[in-house]
A = this chain, B = another copy of it.
Amino acid sequence: MGGNELTVVEQRYEAVSPADFFYRNRDIAGFSNPVRALYSAVRELVENSLDACEVARTPPDIYITLTEVEKTETGSSIYRIRVEDNGCGVPEEHIPSCFGRVFFGSKYTLKQTRGTFGLGGTMAILYGQITTHKPVRVVSSTDGVNVHAFELMIDIQNNRPIILKKTSTKSRGGWRGTIVEFHLEGEYGRAASRIVEYLRQTAMVNPHANIVFIDPRGRLYLFERATTKVPRPPKEVKPHPHGVDVETMRRMIATTKCDNMLDFIVNHFHRVGKATAKKFLKFAGISPRKNPKKMTPDDIVKLVRAARMFNDFLRPDASCLSPIGAKLLEIGVRKELKLGPDAFLMAHQRKPSAYSGYPFIVEVAIAYGKGVPKREGGFTLYRFANKIPLLYDEASDVSWKVVNKVINWSTYKVTQDMPILIVTHICSTKIPYKTVGKEFVADRPEIEHEIEQAIRYVARHLRLYISRQRRMEREKRRLGVYSKYLPRIARYAAHLAGVPKPPDVEKLLREVARFE
Contact = CB atoms under 8 A, between A and B. Distances in A.
A500 interface: no
A496 interface: no
- A14, A105, A300 — most chain B CB neighbours (10 Å): A14
A490 interface: no
B442 A27 contact: yes
Given A21-B18, A103-B18, A2 B129 contact: no
A17 B129 contact: no
A475 interface: no
Contacts of A8: 142-143
Given A103-B16, A247-B23, A141 B433 contact: no
Given A56-B9, A106-B13, A143-B3, A309 B246 contact: no
B104 A13 contact: yes
Interface residues of A, number: 85
Q: How many copies of this chain are found per oligomer? A: 2
Given A144-B3, A174-B3, A247-B23, A106 B18 contact: no
Contacts of A74: 305, 308-309
A449 interface: no
B247 A156 contact: yes
Given A6-B174, A104-B13, A73 B305 contact: yes
Nearest to A23: B247
Nearest to A248: B130
A393 B20 CA distance: 27
Interface in A422-470: 432-437, 442, 444
Contact of A6 (B14, B176, B246): B176
Nearest to A135: B297
Contacts of A210: none
Given A174-B5, A396-B396, A14 B104 contact: yes
B142 A13 contact: no
Interface in A317-353: none
Interface stretch (A93-101, A201-209, A212-220, A259-267): A93-101
Contact of A27 (B1, B131, B433): B433
Nearest to A245: B130
A385 to B, nearest CB: 13
Contact of A133 (B11, B250, B434): B250
Contacts of A11: 55, 88, 91, 106
Interface in A71-90: 72-74, 88
Contacts of A98: 13
A141 B27 CA distance: 35
A32 interface: yes
Contact of A2 (B17, B141, B174): B174
Given A174-B1, A396-B393, A105 B247 contact: no
Contacts of A1: 144, 173-174
A145 B247 CA distance: 37
A251 interface: yes
Which 8 residue pairs are nearest across A and B when measured between Cβ atoms?
Answer: A3-B144, A3-B174, A3-B145, A130-B247, A395-B395, A11-B106, A15-B104, A9-B88
Interface of A: 1-6, 8-9, 11-18, 20-21, 23-25, 27-28, 32-33, 55-56, 72-74, 88, 91, 94, 97-98, 101, 103-106, 108-109, 116-118, 129-133, 141-145, 156-157, 171, 173-176, 245-247, 250-251, 297-298, 300-301, 305, 308-309, 393, 395-396, 432-437, 442, 444
Given A3-B176, A14-B105, A27-B442, 13 more contacts: A1-B174, A2-B144, A3-B175, A4-B143, A4-B144, A8-B142, A11-B91, A20-B103, A24-B108, A72-B308, A74-B309, A133-B298, A434-B435
11 contacts: A3-B174, A6-B56, A13-B98, A13-B106, A14-B108, A16-B118, A28-B433, A28-B434, A32-B442, A72-B305, A133-B246
